[in-house]
Amino acid sequence: MAAVSSRRKAWLLAVGVLAVAVAANLGTPAVAGAALRGYLRSQLPGGGVEVTLQASPPVALWWGRAAMLTVVAHNVQLGTLGMERFDATFETLRFDPQALYLHRALVIRSLRRGSAHATVNQADLTRALARSPTIRVDSVVLQPGRVWVRGAVRALGAEFPAEGLGRLVLNGETAVDLVLDSVVVAGGSLPGSVTGEAITIRSAIVVPPLPFGFRVTAVRVEDGRLVLDAGTGPV
């Protein structure tokens, strides 16, 4: 009888340990994700933030190890540039668990690689370009590889209604140039006879510092959207 009781206690203990392990595996990503969302809301101000964490085993997140971290933020405002969406992926991430769970801060200790994509829609791009002192931008139409701009060119203290077809070109890591390969001015020509000639507007878009040390590596113009590609690591 005593042997049966001992076996039953051992069985109950094993079941209890297994239940705790399963609960930890299932609950840890949720706890870590909630802590990260709290931190990321301050780094990516705007709409909602979604976080996905992968670790094997999941309890490794408690001591600051993640195989992959994926972040998706919507309607982000960084500096003067609005972004429809900001996506980031971190591979083989090591972070300070105390900083995350106690202070809601992500302190990266090591990182194999990180990549990000910031998507800017036509409305946000129009507002960004409108800050240029060289041109007045009324509307922008984005098509794969090119941009249509309608507004006015400023010269000699006056504005000349114009529209142009051109490209967005990365200028270093913090700016994007607008190169208008073709410009048509309504009702005549611009001083200096630049009608039909290429016009380059330097730093037409100022790219604000991106979170997590990401650096812009390329720009892509898609249908209705500008995409800034960025990378970071290894750390």
**171-190 per-position pLDDT tens digit:** 999 999 999 988 888 765 55
Q: For residue 31, is pLDDT > 60?
A: yes
**45-62 per-position pLDDT tens digit:** 888 899 998 888 888 888
User: What is the DSSP secondary-structure string of 38-75?
Assistant: HHHHHHS-BS-EEEEEE-SSGGGGGGTEEEEEEEEEEE
Q: How far is CA 93 from CA 59, 69, 131, 156, in A?
A: 14, 7, 38, 54
The average confidence (pLDDT) of the chain is 84
pTM attached to this predicted model:
0.82
pLDDT over 90, % of the chain? 53
**130-164 per-position pLDDT tens digit:** 988 888 999 999 999 999 999 998 877 788 898 88
The span from the CA of 227 to the CA of 206, in Å, is: 14
User: What is the DSSP secondary-structure string of 5-41?
Assistant: HHHHHHHHHHHHHHHHHHHHHHHHHHHHHHHHHHHHH
**H or E segment at 139?**
strand 135-143
Contact between 181 and 198 (Cβ < 8 Å): yes
What pLDDT score was predicted for residue 193?
Answer: 44
Tell whether omega for the bond before 45 is within 30 degrees of 0, i.e. cis.
no
Q: 98 Cβ partners below 8 Å, 6+ apart?
A: none
End-to-end CA distance of the chain: 61
